[in-house]
Amino acid sequence: MAKNLVIVESPAKAKTIEKILGKDFEVKSCFGHIRDLEKDDMGIDIENNFKPKYVIPEDKEKVVKELKKLAKDTDEVWLATDEDREGEAISWHLCEVLHLDPKTTKRIVFHEITKPAIENAVQHPRKLDMDRVNAQQARRILDRIVGFEISPVLWRKMSMRNSLSAGRVQSVAVRLIVEREREINHFQSVSTFKVEAYFTGKDINGKNISFKADGPGKFKTAEDAEKFLQQCVAAAYTVKDIQVKPGKKSPAAPFTTSTLQQEASRKLGYSVSKTMLLAQKLYESGNITYMRTDSVNLSDTAVGEIEKAIKKSFGDKYHQHRKFKNKNESAQEAHEAIRPTYMENTTVEDSDTRKLYELIWKRTIASQMADAELEKTIAKIDISTNHEELTASGEVLKFDGFLKVYMESHDDEEEQEDEQEGSLPPLAVKQSLDLKEMKATERFSRPAPRYTEASLVKKLEELGIGRPSTYAPTITTIQKRNYVEKRDKEGIKRDFRILVLKADKISKQTESENTGAEKSKLFPTDLGMIVTDFLNQYFNNVMDYGFTAKIEEEFDEIASGKKVWNNMLKEFYFPFHKDVENTLENAERVKGERPLGTDAASGKPIVARMGRYGPMIQIGSVEDEEKPRFAKLKATQSIETISLEEAMELFKLPRNLGLFEGTDVVVNIGRFGPYAQHDKKFYSLKKEMDPYTVELDEVAPLIAEKRTAKDERTIKIFEKEKIQILKGPYGPYIKQGLKNFKIPKEKIDTAADLTVEEAKAIIEEAKANPPKKKAPPRKKKAE
DNA sequence: CAGTGAGCGAGCTTCCGCTTGACTT
């Protein structure tokens, strides 16, 4: 038994540190938090000054038991959890559970897992910082109160009430998406005309050249643009002035969780959860440093390694020592930036993680490289027939610097393309130019783009909302709650006008472009919008974009001993709780109704609204003698934007397509999407089939297809015993009635040879030994 | 698996932030 027990949060870290510290130290991991607030009754004794009731969750019992045993048998326990607020709290919980004295137990921290950092930490232990622990408790308790008091309000007040939730982070994330959507819906596009002139001529060396110049500003109307072109008829063009300016570009800071998620999304098209999964793999295999971090700092050791790598591969002049500072005030910087552990590994074997690793490698190495040097040339071109001038500009890369390995991408790629500049040929002042043609092209202003997962993370980080470990789970949650969905949107065709001046004649053309197409963007659902409106109305304090930043300041005051944590909670809780009670008492049940007009056939009102099972259209009211008619909205439609015509279309279902094998085939949209019904059986329509237009000859093959699929799935049937041996996604299994049974491993390969007796025996065996309940029991979600 | 849409009341859900596994019907 080692003399010293060191406890860290992550098991991968434990392994590395154990190697560094040697045989007197045993390093174990507690796998993050080991206690949490009890779930029943909030786990907070509000009357008793917000006294928290902590319990050890079932899935942590094992590790706690093991740590208890080790702690008993060791001379000294060292608490080496992360230096941030959460880490300090984890150490305190360890003291409580392992019966260590917080006043004497050694607390050490390292911001980087390097030999000097760890040895230095062991030489300078401190004691637990209770102020910081209390700041964490205040954070935890406040989040519990917000989540567990508002969510039940939603269950009471929403017409759709299946497992709705609200929280300090998720509700604001949804709000951002809802507001962006409305901004887009209300956006009024304005068109302007942009002039571009194409010249030919000879450069200073007598070489034939051609280049482009931009016109003087944008014209508001086609008439203004035409007037300008008219003025240019028969004009002479001369170079009036040439300016050359040096410029430079600097590399971005090394990756944090948030910037890694953004770049992996833009460059590799990964979702944030995919990025984190792959990063976790790279971390566990020892290839990169910790992947949940908000720090841009690199250890001195790493900076040295990077310098060596740059000088070796690219030469001394490509190196430039840089130290990055976090812009974000909410950063807690318990770790390093995300970087390769060994710079000499330019790639990894594993093909799944390779692209992400290479991205991290490039970004890291670029961050210590020299600036790229540019030369920007601007030529002014005089028009003889008016007082305006044209501008041609070009950019030449004089020294590539960090661009040799890496260039950061931006969200608004389209805008970038517009501004992308090539080089300008060498021209001389007073040189005359030949106009090939001049175009005035109509351009439309665009609304802000919808959020991607990654751009939402960026926004949340800017607002100081959420932490590196929660960005990915938050995005999953708001989608799982059906507040938000990720999908593509097809663009629409739009015409634009072009005026062309060529050979002193003006001609007009119309062309069309596709606009508004989006891929993998976050759209709010009707539910998301309705819940957001409700929360904004009754809980505007918590929904405020600055709320987290405000309470973070207070947590900082608690951490620095300037404020008492219970008092902070008191100040928050009582007004908040009053809002909760007021809402419960006064708010009406929300239906999200929007009147669309009157039905021409019956004269009854038509409304779009939220039903118990989702957004729908209703004609007439329940008070009418005749029952109202209902139709479900399509997935891409929304209560807020659907038109009366679109709504009426929805009543064309169910459609009878005619007879097949003597019985009717009827298509409709159900709980699981569009389907056809024939002879009491159901057949899902293929994705490309539109239930509003699909014909019988397209649907009939589905019926045959399903019949053969069923045959293929069946390995064997014992008719009398009602036992089937079927092929499932995890291999063959036995089905009796509605119940499924696993086939023992040794018989899996010969499942087709099973006899009735053998199958019966397996069923009996399974019934006698029901599979053990796993801890924690995963609750089945009611769909 | 393929309905419904009101209201009542049973009994359920829910937060954020630390960490990784377990293993399918």
pLDDT digits (tens, 9 = 90+) for A361-420: 999 999 999 999 999 999 999 999 999 999 999 999 999 999 999 888 887 655 444 455
Q: What's residue A700's pLDDT?
A: 85
Chain B bases having any atom below 7 Å from a protein CB = 1-7, 12-25
Percent of chain A with pLDDT over 90: 72
Tokens of A145: 């109160």
Residues 6+ apart with CB under 8 A from A213: A196, A197, A199, A379, A381, A390, A391, A392
Is the CB atom of residue A614 positioned under 7 angstroms from any atom of strand B? yes
DSSP alpha helices (H): ranges in A114-221?
Answer: 115-123, 130-157, 170-185
CB atoms within 10 A of CB A118: 21
Is the CB atom of residue A671 positioned under 7 angstroms from any atom of strand B? yes
Is the CB atom of residue A735 positioned under 7 angstroms from any atom of strand B? no
**pLDDT tens-digit series, residues A641-691:** 999 999 999 998 888 888 888 888 999 887 777 888 888 888 888 888 888
Nucleotide B6, nearest residue via CA and C1': A622
CB atoms within 10 A of CB A699: 23
CA→C1' distance for A493 and B16 (Å):
44
Is the CB atom of residue A733 positioned under 7 angstroms from any atom of strand B? yes
Tokens of A323: 């130290």
Tokens of A475: 């995005």
Is the CB atom of residue A476 positioned under 7 angstroms from any atom of strand B? no
Residue A711's pLDDT band, with cuts at 50, 70 and 90, is confident
CA→C1' distance for A630 and B5 (Å):
7
CA atoms within 13 A on the CB side of A492: 2
Nucleotide B13, nearest residue via CA and C1': A163
CA→C1' distance for A734 and B25 (Å):
10
Tokens of A54: 């902590």
Residue A769's pLDDT band, with cuts at 50, 70 and 90, is low
pTM for the complete prediction? 0.89
Q: Which of residues 444-473 of A touch strand B (CB under 7 A)?
A: 465-470, 473
- Active-site amino acid positions of A: 290
Tokens of A69: 């045993």
Residues 6+ apart with CB under 8 A from A87: A9, A81, A109, A334
3-state DSSP call for residue A522? Answer: strand
- pLDDT of A738 over the 80 cut: no
Is the CB atom of residue A539 positioned under 7 angstroms from any atom of strand B? no
What gap in Å lies between CA A365 and CA A360, rounded to an integer? Answer: 9
What gap in Å lies between CA A503 and CA A196, rounded to an integer? Answer: 15
CA→C1' distance for A277 and B25 (Å):
26
Is the CB atom of residue A684 positioned under 7 angstroms from any atom of strand B? yes
What gap in Å lies between CA A468 and CA A326, rounded to an integer? Answer: 14
Is the CB atom of residue A43 positioned under 7 angstroms from any atom of strand B? no
